[in-house]
Each structure stands twice: as structure tokens, then as C-alpha cells.
Amino acid sequence: MLSVEEAARLLEAAPGIKYKAALGVAYGAGLRVSEVAHLKVDDIDSERMLLRVEQGKGARDRNAMLSPHLLALLRVWWREGKRRGVMFPHGWLFPGRSYTDPISTRQLHRAVQEAAEAAGIKKRVGPHTLRHSFATHLLEQDVDIRIIQVLLGHAKLDTTAIYTKVSTRTIQAVASPLDRLMALMEGQTPPG
């Protein structure tokens, strides 16, 4: 898992705007690497601020969040991609070596590792690290785990619950029933 600061450094160190945008989607929307690779330009719904994920894991379609900052980053990539002649109205959001093919998950793995090295991050990281960090950072912001479950596209809450083991800030924020009881006994306002 990356800290918020490490995630920022990693995205900043991405090798070019295409990879900055792709890794921004992995972290900013919590998508799996294969979902990032298979996004099409038409999957961006800027009116509803959603990313449409078609045929994600388990062949399920779902909507993912599209933040204003992520939309702005994708627009920068769109303009640059059009300038380079690799972006087309109904084509891949992140084309591969040929504009007719999507970027490979292997290319995205390499970009994450290259960015981590450039950012001085010594942890072992891959595209899934960004997804994991997305979920953990949302938990630390007190976002309900059921909402995170939907955003990640998990069928079962048990799968999402794995992220609760990592979020130490969430654990530290919980007031123990003993602390609440002792505060009441001492006539103080209970914590949390």
C-alpha cells in the first residue's frame, strides 16, 4: 500500500502524460489494470462524472467514479493523444503500440515500476497497488465500506473487507467501549 504522499509522487513521476492518465485512472477510480487497459473514449461520462467499466472481472459491467481532477487529466491526455494522431472518437482511451489495440497490462506494469523507481519508492509496487491504495485511502476518509465495495466492483463484502486489515488509521480512530465507559463513569463526555 502507498501513502497518499507516495501515490502523488508515483503519479508525478509517470513516464509521460499517457501513463500519468492511465495510472491516475487506476488510483483515482480504483480500477483493475485490465479495466484501465480496456477503457474506450466512449466510457467517459463527463455529464454524470462516471467511468463505464464494461466486462470487468466476472464479465460484469459497472460504473466507477470520475473525479473532476481525473477528468481534467484525461482531457489533457485526449488533447495530446489527438495531437499525436493516436486518439480516435470511439477508440481505446489508452491505445497500445497500434491505435487499433489497447495498451497491454504489461506496459502498465512497467510504467508503474518505472515511476516508482523515479519517485524513489522502495516498496514493491504494481498497478494493483494503486487500486489497493484507492480503497485504503477511502477507508481512512471514513467512506462506508459498502460504498467502497460498489466502487471496486466486488460481488462480496468479504473481498472488500481485506482492505480493512491495512487501514491502521481507521482502527486507531475507533473508541474502545472501555474508554467510553470509563469516561461516563468519571462524568466526562465519551470519546468517538
Residues recognised as catalytic: 32, 57, 128, 131, 154, 163
Residue with cell 509517470: 14
| CA 10 to chain CA mean position, Å | 13
Closest CA to 7 of 30, 21, 24: 24
Closest CA to 134 of 17, 15, 22, 32: 32
Q: How far is CA 5 from CA 11, 68, 113, 117, 133, in A?
A: 10, 20, 17, 15, 11
Burial of 165 (0-12, 13-18, 19+ CB in 10 A): exposed
- In DSSP terms, 95 is beta-bridged to 102
C-alpha cell at 175: 473508541
